[in-house]
Structure formats: structure tokens, C-alpha cells
Amino acid sequence: MEEAPMRRAARSGDGALLVLFAGLLLCFVPGIVALSRIWGSVEYQSHGYLVPIVALFLALRERARFAAVPRQRSGVGLAGLLVALALYAVASMGGWATLQGVAMVGSVAASLLWLRGPAALRAMAFPVAYLLFMVPLPEPWVAPTIVRLRLFVTTAAVSLLHGLGIPVLREGNSILLPGGESLFVADACSGVTSLLTLLPLAVLVAFLTERDGWRRAVLIASVVPIALGFNLFRVLATVLAAQQIGVERATAGALHEAAGLLVYAAGCVALLAVGGLLRRLRPTT
């Protein structure tokens, strides 16, 4: 006889959470629009569109665990929600998309803590934390990394081309070809796009397929050599193509776009291959 009231209370607690989330979603529409503009205009932030969908999938996977944890409210969660909403308001007035994104994710976490308690927040920790991948990185943070990656890729490409017997020269981030033409290594060829878009995939695969912390760390860390290696190969292939068909045709149009997509697809396959290798290395019982 007591189960029905308990179930009603449980449903009412989840109902309050859903109502709060719906209200937050309406409140965050301007922030979501601001983030989507960045996702659509900055290549290495383009994965942001998919992150909320993946996070929702992860949350649904944890719904049984979430429903089973003790229900308790937390005043700390309410305080955190108020702070997050204040931060969102300030960020919106200042046009700071990164802070808007952080505030939105913080609001979700604080809402869970407030209405369902610490255990519920722990149950949803990974889906909520995954939402941070939708937050655009500030350009001042990314720009120095792009500069270093471009220099690395250009220098490594010139060294490998010398090893192949092709007499090229490096001038800054440009590769001077034997015929006098120069090939500029742009941001897209630096590896930063592959690095920042493969990272969410690596984290997802690591947490879905691995239990050991070191295997997860290895899989996530493999993104760096995979991204840099395949983009270095892209630069080498572009130089070789430029010698045959000219720099303009090799670096523009459908051919160059297809090369970029191929590099990213190859990176995804390589990442999954690393995951498969790690699973094969598991000790048999």
C-alpha cells in the first residue's frame, strides 16, 4: 500500500526536474544560438552540434542507475544553480560564448544536485561532463597551438620530402617547390581540426568500451599522434599532387575538400583500431 505514494513522489521529483530543464532550455535559447554560430563558422568547433545528442544518449544509458540512487535535495545545488545563472547572464551581456557554454553545463549539474542529490549527480557525471565538448575554446587559447602545430607539420613534411629526394625548402609555414611555386600550410592542415574533433570521439569510445583507467588514457592520448600523423600525410600528398597538377588545383576545389574528409575518416578508423587493439590486450580469465 505504501509503494504507490512512493512512486508518485518519485515521479513528482523527476517531473520537477524535467520542468526545470525545460525552463532552462528556454532561458538558454540565445546562448545556444550564439554557440551554434561558432559551431557553424569555426571548423575545429563543428563537432559541437553533435555533443548534446551524444550526451542525451549517454544520459539515457544511465537512466536505470539514476532512478535507483537515493533521492535527496541539496541547498548547495540551488546555490550553484543561482551562481551559474548569474554567470550566464553576465556572459550573455558581454558576448562571451565560452562562459555562456560553461554556465549552461554548470546549470544542468547544479539542477541535478539540487533536486536529486549528490548520488544522482554522480550517476550522470559523465553525460553532464561530456557537454563541455560543445563549449567553444577561446581563440587566444587555440591560436598559439595552431601556430606550433603548423610549424611542426611544415618542418616534418620538408624533412620527409628531402628523404624522398624532393628538393623543397621551408619558408615559415610555406613549402617552396622545385618549380618555384610555394605551398602554404594553412590552419586546416595543422592537425588542430582533427585533434579537437577526434578528442570527443576518443573519450566516448574510451568510456563505453574500457574499464581500466590506463587503457582509457592510452586511447584518448592516441588522438595526438593520429591527428598529427594523418595531417602530415595530407601535406605530403598535397605537395606530390602540386608537382603534378599545380599548386592551385591541388589546394582548391573538390579535390582538397575530399582530402580533408578522407583524412578525418582515416583518423576515425585508426582510433577505432587502437581501441580494438587495446581490447585484444585484455587479460583472459
Q: What is the 3-state secondary structure (H, E, C) of 144-184?
A: HHHHHHHHHHHHHHHHHHHHCCCCCEEECCEEECCCCCEEE
Q: How far apart are CA 186 and CA 163, in angstroms?
A: 23
Is 193 inside a domain boundary? yes
Instruction: State whether 275 and 160 are in the same domain.
Output: yes
- 133 Cα distance to chain centroid: 4
**β-pairing, 169-171 with 182-184?**
unpaired
Instruction: State whether 102 and 199 are in the same domain.
Output: no
Domain count for the chain, please give it: 2
- Please measure the distance between the N-terminal and C-terminal CA atoms of the chain and give it in whole angstroms: 46
Domain final residue pick, 92, 109, 134: 134
Is 63 inside a domain boundary? yes
Domain final residue pick, 100, 134, 168: 134
Is 254 inside a domain boundary? yes
Ordered per-residue pLDDT tens for the chain, 285 residues: 444 444 544 454 578 889 999 999 999 999 999 999 999 999 899 999 999 999 999 999 999 999 899 888 899 999 999 999 999 999 999 999 999 999 999 999 999 999 999 999 999 999 999 999 999 999 889 999 999 999 999 999 999 999 988 888 898 888 888 877 888 888 878 889 899 999 999 999 999 988 888 899 999 999 999 999 999 998 998 888 888 887 777 777 777 778 888 888 999 999 999 988 888 877 655
Domain final residue pick, 134, 166, 185: 134
Instruction: State whether 16 and 122 are in the same domain.
Output: yes
Give me the domain span that covers residue 258: 140-280
Instruction: State whether 73 and 149 are in the same domain.
Output: no
Decide if 105 contacts 29 (C-beta within 8 A). Answer: no
Instruction: State whether 108 and 226 are in the same domain.
Output: no
Q: Is the dihedral of CA 7, 10, 12, 15 positive or negative?
A: negative
Instruction: State whether 114 and 7 are in the same domain.
Output: yes
Instruction: State whether 154 and 234 are in the same domain.
Output: yes
Q: How far apart are CA 240 and CA 248, in angstroms?
A: 13
Is 170 inside a domain boundary? yes
